[in-house]
Amino acid sequence: MGKSKLLFITHEMSPFLELTKISEITRQLPQAMQDKGYEIRILMPRFGNINERRNRLHEVIRLSGMNIIINDNDNPLIIKVASIPAARMQVYFLDNEEYFQRKHVFNDKDGKFYADNDERMIFFCKGALETVKKLGWAPDVIHCHGWMSSLVPAYLKTTYKDDPTFKNSKVVYSVYDNDFAGKLNPDFANKAVMTDMTETHTEVYKPGTASALHAGAIHYSDGIVLGSENIDDEVLNNVKNSHKSVLEFDSTSDFENYYNFYDEITNEELVHVA
């Protein structure tokens, strides 16, 4: 048996992009799991304010060149990679000029939520899974962090459920308190539908609020992590009613609890972790 494979999907990670506490967790947790013997891959968007030169990003030609279809439009996917020498970890960045080459991340210079954040999210979630397929790397556990990754669990349990790369993968979703106000495009849930899916599969996401995105991810995930101390009550109720394995928030964590949680999930011992 080779090493267990653990994939992280996130929109931010230190030192590349530091918006919230998520960036610290997605920097420290992968290294802690690597130290415990996991083989690690990390995927995130290449937002325009990530400095390519300083972070030594370079394009991975063999992975680039795919097109991600959204609303019948082909959107080129460029894959770049950077290393964290101190941790011996590589981070793959998903890039697209139209969606990510902006000076700001989710809100424009006036603080207005980008109107196409729904398409940017769909592009990222679809692109992440297609990139892993092209890597030829079958993860045992896929850990998604935050609302921008919330479609990944749905895609894994529908379109990709029989794909050789993912058919044995378990998916974990971390909810945080860094939600956005407002809603995504009203047509978001319809745009998100992929092959072998119908609109019923994305119905739970349809309101387009942060809570709805969490609800969808919770519904399709195998395990849930409470990544913040103060989670919205509606989201907490969704977690409780899901009867999924839950890793409670622990501010003093040395990540041993994550290791045990991944082990529990992959062994399908669906016991609530208190």
CATH number (domain holding residue 64): 3.40.50.2000
Write out the residue range of the structural domain in which residue 40 sits. 5-266
Structure tokens at 18: 């530091």
Question: Quick check: is 271 in a domain?
Answer: no
pTM of this structure: 0.94
Number of folded domains that form the chain = 1
pLDDT of the chain, 274 residues: tens digit per residue:
468 999 999 999 999 999 989 999 999 999 999 999 999 999 999 998 888 888 898 999 888 889 999 988 999 999 999 998 788 889 999 999 999 989 899 998 998 999 999 999 999 999 999 999 999 999 999 999 999 999 999 999 999 999 999 999 999 999 998 678 889 999 999 999 998 999 999 999 999 999 999 999 999 999 999 999 889 899 999 999 999 999 999 876 779 999 999 999 998 644 444 3
Contacts (Cβ under 8 Å, ≥6 apart) of 218:
173, 175, 224, 235, 238, 239, 242, 244
Tell me the C-alpha distance between 138 and 132, whole Å. 8
Question: Quick check: is 274 in a domain?
Answer: no
Question: Quick check: is 272 in a domain?
Answer: no
Write out the H or E segment, with its range, that includes residue 143.
strand 141-145
Question: Quick check: is 173 in a domain?
Answer: yes
Structure tokens at 102: 């902006």
Contact 154, 164 (CB under 8 A): no
Tell me the C-alpha distance between 237 and 232, whole Å. 9
Q: Residue 72, Cα to own-chain centre: how many angstroms?
A: 23
